Amino acid sequence: MRPHLLLLLAVCGAGCGAEARSYSLRGSWSIRSGNGSLELPGQVPGCVHSALFQQGLIQDPYYRFNDVNYRWISLDNWTYSKKFKLPFDFSKWQKINLIFEGVDTVSKVLFNEVTIGKTDNMFNRYSFDVTDVVRDVNSVELRFQSAVTYAAQQSRALGRRLPPDCPPPAQRGECHANLVRKEQCSFSWDWGPAFPTQGIWKDVRIEAYNVCHLNYFTFSPVYDNRAKEWHLEIQSSFDVVSSKPVGGQVIVAIPKLQTQQTYKIELQPGERTIELFVKINKNITIGTWWPRGHGNQTGYNMTILFELDRGLNIEKSAKVYFRTVELIQEPIKGSPGLSFYFKINGFPIFLKGSNWIPADSFQDRVTSDVLRLLLQSVVDANMNTLRVWGGGIYEQDEFYELCDELGIMVWQDFMFACALYPTEQGFIDSVRAEVAYQIRRLKSHPSVIIWSGNNENEAALRMDWFHINFTDLQTYIDDYVTLYVKNIREMVLAGDKSRPFIPSSPTNGDETIAEGWVSQNPYSNYFGDVHFYDYISDCWDWKVFPKARFASEYGYQSWPSFSTLEKVSSKEDWSFNSKFSLHRQHHADGNKQMLYQAGLHFKLPQSTDPLRTFKDTIYLTQVMQAQCVKTETEFYLRSRSEIVKEQGHTMGALYWQLNDIWQAPSWASLEYGGKWKMLHYFARRFFAPLLPVGFEDQSVFYVYGVSDLHANHTVTLTVRVHTWGSLQPLCSRVTTHLVIGAGQAALLYKEPVSTLLRCGNCTRESCLLSFYLSMDLKLLSPINYHFLSSPKEAVGLRKANITALISQQGDAFVFDLETSAVAPFVWLDVGSVPGRFSDNGFLMTEKTRRVLFYPWAATSKGELEQSFHATSLADIY
């Protein structure tokens, strides 16, 4: 693993020349149930559920109804214990600490049978001084309390209501998640199960040192616009256990930037923090970090050497990146309100991407390979941004390192979501420690571009989600301001001035501040960001979507593929209305909403075979989801450069949601395990850096050109009229020498639909359109399409016989496709073979097409031939 940006472990020399010692307590621990009837080994990092599964004492927790069947695990009070012998003489060390990087969640900690502290916050790092109780052979014990029963106790002790008390019945969840500082969705969500885990979910170790210890160092690059130069602000924290001051010098070196500076320091006894300001050599050209698609992710190796008295030397290295971020909120000509967009390195960037949720209910299963697979799929779909949603966790270090490497911008929520929270002093103190720690941990990452105080809590208050008595509203508003403004915001402003902070998402930004931190309409199209969900209106009608400044949540549900569901279900579950299907759907009326939305434009599956109907319905929900999100996203993309009826200038589209936490219907575009849904292939196309967007308004067909590129582009637009009954286009419109400005959306073409129909000598029901951008016969964009009527009204659409000739080409496999007819929503599936296609879910209007398959694990031509199945829309009728 590369050197980490924030270093929490230091090796500090002792006066006698010996090095400080660190002893990891990872590995096997003993786990015991509350009444002692179960005792088993378990891995740390890990949790009780994982240990029980690994020992064969329970089935896969995700299998069928086990989220409810195994609720007893979360309701029990488990104990973790370990005995160990120190590999060094403890008597030679002045200070010995027991460090937990993460404990989930409520526990009493004993060391050699002496209570040394407690934990009650999953998101905090805990350090306990065990100097006075340590021995040669030691025992450590964590006596956990069920987070569910703890939350209930906190609710009773609070003496006042903090809604929501419990999740909706469809979620089959647990109550009072907002009263424990734990992953909120572990008590259930409308896309996930209730698994309120217990365990030591991050590293644990013993640290021993003399004289001094480096607790952490962190840094932020800052650009001085007036002086036109960069400098680094470095903060280092020490624990000086010497009775006398410790002096010395700090040498900071970035060789590739020909920068080296030396600073004299003196550390007084106790906990001490020093701040250094390092000027970067302004005679060297500095490569900046850019988001994916906008430039390189240049970083530089930096070393910091602390040369202290008595021969103490501490040397650390880190990767430093240089980039600026600005959140621009300023008046817009022709529109009330303010803009809301980001500049990276001075260039306006349209944020395009999705929302990230925890990748598993059991974090020990989220390996480096899992993260790499999911985040690579983000950039493979031309995204540049993920919003780390506030109902999950602050992600592990490697997540942010990968985002730095891949150029993925991170909108980072603090972990508060869809609820009201306490403001009692104990809770506030815990939150302040949490926020301070997370800022220190994450501030050095260039990928993190904004802090957001919470998910939807401003909207929940103002829109009266919880039916609060009007006489109590001001009290709840005061509590809201206390938590997010007077504490979290204060901590951010003190700890990280290098990126913006907003109190909530959605929010009105500066207007929210002007209105006293809870705006009258957090969903205003004139300020800030919006979240938008509408499952009743026709999602093919772009006029139902808000022409907002920034859309940070929107989406539609679909079911995951049969091959994904098959792993956690049995044959009796394989129907849309089975007990399993209803149990797995945690969004009230979600299955009905999907079928309703699909039925607006498609005939529903008609097979007499129940299994065939189930598979066809899964396919159709994915078609519906992909088409809905495509329509909405393209509306936001083309709205970036215009104001229409005082609204527009949209500069962000982050659909809900990227990934799944388990195998169930959800808004995700990536299934549990990483398989791409049809939506993710659509996203790869609609987030392309150069895209033609087509739509109708009052029976006129328009095409906008949308560009994320940094230079103007001259393009040729080709619009083709096709008939459902022929693989030959009926007519074409070619327009040359069209210019799309850098980072702009521009109208390229408009023509009455009636004229296009005359050109093709066809009707709306028998024809459709395709269009693309090119230059000098080179394709510059995906081939987009526009339906002139609902596919369920299509005349001439017939079943297509789609065949594939498969061959190997290096590490990939070539699928040479051939179709007998025009085929919409062609879905290529290889079952459980892990990998992705170069394209999928596409409209096939030509007889042949070549697609590549990129496997994620070893496979063969024979396995792919055996697994391959192609489906298009007419196959389900």
Residue 11 belongs to some domain of the structure? no
CA–CA distance, 691 with 785 (Å, rounded to integer): 11
CA–CA distance, 552 with 508 (Å, rounded to integer): 12
Residues 469 and 377 in one domain: yes
Q: What is the pLDDT of residue 544?
A: 98
Residue 612 belongs to some domain of the structure? yes
**Which of 321, 355, 382 lies at the terminal end of a domain, its last residue?**
321
Residues 830 and 714 in one domain: no
CA–CA distance, 654 with 342 (Å, rounded to integer): 14
Tell me which of 456, 511, 632, 634 is the catalytic residue.
Answer: 456
Residues 527 and 648 in one domain: yes
Residue 7 belongs to some domain of the structure? no
**Which of 206, 228, 248 lies at the terminal end of a domain, its last residue?**
206
Q: What is the pLDDT of residue 813?
A: 99
Residue for token digits 């919006």? 530
Residues 714 and 734 in one domain: yes
CB atoms within 10 A of CB 306: 26
Residue 15 belongs to some domain of the structure? no
Smallest CA-to-CA distance from 443 within 301, 234, 281, 299 is with 234
CATH code assigned at 152: 2.60.120.260
Determine the distance from the C-alpha atom of residue 276 to the mean position of all C-alpha atoms in its chain, rounded to a whole number.
33
Residues 202 and 239 in one domain: no
Q: SS3 of 870, please? A: strand
CA–CA distance, 522 with 530 (Å, rounded to integer): 7
Are 106 and 119 within 8 A, CB to CB? Answer: yes
CATH code assigned at 472: 3.20.20.80
The dihedral of CA 777, 767, 847, 844: what is its sign?
A: positive
CB atoms within 10 A of CB 79: 20
Residues 116 and 48 in one domain: yes
Q: What are phi and psi of 237, to 5 degrees?
A: -115, 130
* Residue 121: Cβ-neighbour burial (10 angstroms; 0-12, 13-18, 19+): buried
CB atoms within 10 A of CB 118: 15
Are 800 and 811 within 8 A, CB to CB? Answer: no
CA–CA distance, 374 with 755 (Å, rounded to integer): 45
Residues 605 and 627 in one domain: yes
- Catalytic annotation on 456? yes
DSSP-derived secondary structure for 240-299: E-SSS-EEEEEEEEEGGGTEEEEEEEEE-SEEEEEEEEEE--TTSPPPPB--TTTS-B-E
Residues facing 695 on adjacent strands: 702
**Which of 749, 769, 793 lies at the terminal end of a domain, its last residue?**
793
Residues facing 325 on adjacent strands: 344
Residue 699 belongs to some domain of the structure? yes
Token output for 434: 């949490």
Q: What is the pLDDT of residue 312?
A: 87
Domain that holds residue 286: 210-321
Residues facing 29 on adjacent strands: 42
Residue 579 belongs to some domain of the structure? yes
Residues 740 and 859 in one domain: no
CATH code assigned at 774: 2.60.40.10
CB atoms within 10 A of CB 223: 19
Q: What is the pLDDT of residue 15?
A: 34
Are 547 and 650 within 8 A, CB to CB? Answer: yes
Residues 541 and 432 in one domain: yes
Tell me which of 183, 553, 632, 671 is the catalytic residue.
Answer: 553
Residue 14 belongs to some domain of the structure? no
Host H or E run for residue 230? strand 229-240
Q: What is the pLDDT of residue 606?
A: 86
Q: How far is CA 485 from CA 453, 460, 493, 516, in A?
A: 8, 17, 10, 10
Beta strands in 67-172 (DSSP E): 79-85, 95-100, 107-111, 114-119, 126-129, 137-144
b/e for 230-243, b at 16 or more Cβ within 10 A?
bbbbbbbbbbbbbe
CA–CA distance, 134 with 129 (Å, rounded to integer): 9
Largest interatomic CA distance in the chain: 93
Q: What is the pLDDT of residue 619?
A: 99
Residues 565 and 674 in one domain: yes
3-state helix, strand, coil in the chain (%, to 5): 25, 35, 40
Residues 544 and 416 in one domain: yes
Question: How many structural domains is the chain composed of?
Answer: 5
Residue 9 belongs to some domain of the structure? no
Per residue, what are the HEC states of 466-497? CCCCHHHHHHHHHHHHHHHHHHHHHHHHHHCC
- Catalytic annotation on 424? no
**Rounded average pLDDT per 10-residue block, the chain, 877 residues:** 35 44 98 98 99 98 99 99 97 97 99 99 99 98 99 96 96 98 99 99 97 94 94 96 95 97 96 96 95 98 93 92 98 97 98 99 98 99 99 99 99 99 98 98 98 98 95 96 98 96 98 97 98 98 98 99 98 96 98 98 94 98 99 99 96 99 99 99 99 98 98 98 97 98 98 98 98 97 98 97 98 98 98 98 98 98 98 96
Residues 96 and 165 in one domain: yes
Q: What is the pLDDT of residue 19?
A: 65
The dihedral of CA 364, 421, 585, 874: what is its sign?
A: negative
